[in-house]
Amino acid sequence: MGRFIPLSIPNFEGNEKKYVDDALDQGWVSTGGAYISKLEQEMAHFLHVDNVAACQSGTSALHLSLVEAGVRPNDIVLVPPLTFIAAVNPVKYQFATPVFIDCDDSFCMDPIKLRSFCEDECTWDGSFLRHNGSIIKAIIVVHVFGNMADMESIMDIAMLYNLKVIEDATEALGSYYTNGRYEGKYAGTIGHFGCYSFNGNKIITTGGGGAVTANNPEVVDHIRFLSTQAKTDPHYYIHDEIGYNYRMTNLQAALGVAQMEELPEFIRRKNQNYQTYKYLFEGFKYARLVPFRSNIYSNKWFYSLEVNRSYISASMKEIIIALQEKGIQTRAIWGLINEQKPYQGEETYKLEKAPYYAARILNIPSSTQITEEEIKYVAEQIMLLFRSLANG
């Protein structure tokens, strides 16, 4: 088999096998066991928060956050269009209604358009913000590719209108602000809720899995309770609320504890590799490496190239296939959620940059194991391809 450079794959070079074998030897493989608590404690320590609940996926973390935020049928949740669909699907689980707010150049929700929507399209009754008669309960803010949204502006808007902020930090574990009001605060620890994912392509993985935190540790306790079927009495199976089978397994958590030990090193490598790409693409007129906010230290989970459509008219599919033939795995950014079949009838607000970037962003290999030689090969092949495709 020839050369193959994957987009983003897990890295198991630490104590993963040791801890998983230990969990197996103990017989604790399901939703009980010491590794689950240990992972929660390690995450809380890393994020500088009081409480974290480990759960089945980033999606379940988002769903539990919406439940805890009091989102009910016919309520409205303000969401981004340019992200993975799992950030929005839980709104539908609650039979609520998404309204799609445009992104800014960080790919995250645009606070200027968010404020404009609240001021120009809604009414404030002193307790709730309403749009077309429905109550707006929450905002889901996604920190895309390890970047961070403008949380100062978004939190100001949320406090003004009594909105719950759910941070989807599934791609941004380890990213934090370096200055401003939230200096030192990690993605997922600023809003009312913060959600994380440990899917196989994330910066750390438990295979599946996720976690959730909140600005009130008692709320996290209740989320943990809901994630274990809301069992009030473990001996007699008494349930006072509707619960969910959303708890992480001990086997997953064993993997996660080992991955947390390696997280700082993974972030260091992600940043170093990004700088290598940045140097190689400097001055390349057919595409640019997309920067991260200057006021954050990013985990730089995913690297993005913005294709210059003034020169390159080839479709993303054509570009991806051509690079695949060179042994390089890439992907287009997501299709806009509001254009997907389940969401085509939903309201959007001033979508301009989201469709602009949807047509131009290409994700390139960003695994923590990628070598400098492989990075140089990727950059070289992309530049050769783009020069051959250029129409001027």
User: Could you give the angle at the alpha carbon of 145 between the alpha carbons of 377 and 322, nearest 5°?
Assistant: 35
Q: Does residue 9 form part of some domain?
A: no
- Percent pLDDT > 90 in the chain is 96
Domain residue limits at 298: 263-389
**pLDDT tens-digit series, residues 137-161:** 999 999 999 999 999 999 999 999 9
> How many Å apart are CA 342 and CA 188, to the nearest integer?
27
60: domain CATH number is 3.40.640.10
Domain termination residue (choose one: 201, 227, 259):
259
Domain match, 192 and 319 both:
no
Residues 186, 213: contact at Cβ < 8 Å? no
Q: Is the pLDDT of residue 234 over 90?
A: no
Domain match, 84 and 228 both:
yes
Q: Is the pLDDT of residue 392 over 80?
A: no
Domain match, 131 and 171 both:
yes
Domain match, 301 and 331 both:
yes
Count up the domains in the chain and report the number: 2
Q: Does residue 10 form part of some domain?
A: no
Q: Is the pLDDT of residue 288 over 60?
A: yes
pLDDT (0 to 100) of residue 101: 98
> How many Å apart are CA 56 and CA 206, to the nearest integer?
10
Residue 206: alpha-carbon gap to chain centroid: 15
Concatenated DSSP letters of 72-106? -TT-EEEE-SSS-GGGTHHHHHTT-EEEEE-B-TT
Domain match, 246 and 310 both:
no
Q: Is the pLDDT of residue 233 over 90?
A: no
Q: Is the pLDDT of residue 1 over 90?
A: no
The stretch 305-312 carries a mean pLDDT of 98
Domain termination residue (choose one: 259, 275, 292):
259
Q: Is the pLDDT of residue 181 over 70?
A: yes
Domain match, 228 and 375 both:
no
The amino acid that residue 295 corresponds to is N
**pLDDT tens-digit series, residues 41-66:** 999 999 999 999 999 999 999 999 99
Q: Sorting pLDDT into bands at 50, 70 and 90, what band is 32?
A: confident
**pLDDT tens-digit series, residues 157-174:** 999 999 999 999 999 999
Tell me whether strands 361-364 and 238-239 are parallel, antiparallel or unpaired.
unpaired
Domain match, 221 and 301 both:
no
Domain termination residue (choose one: 212, 234, 259):
259
Write down the mean pLDDT value for the chain: 97
Domain match, 33 and 95 both:
yes
Domain match, 216 and 277 both:
no
Q: Does residue 229 form part of some domain?
A: yes
Domain match, 92 and 221 both:
yes
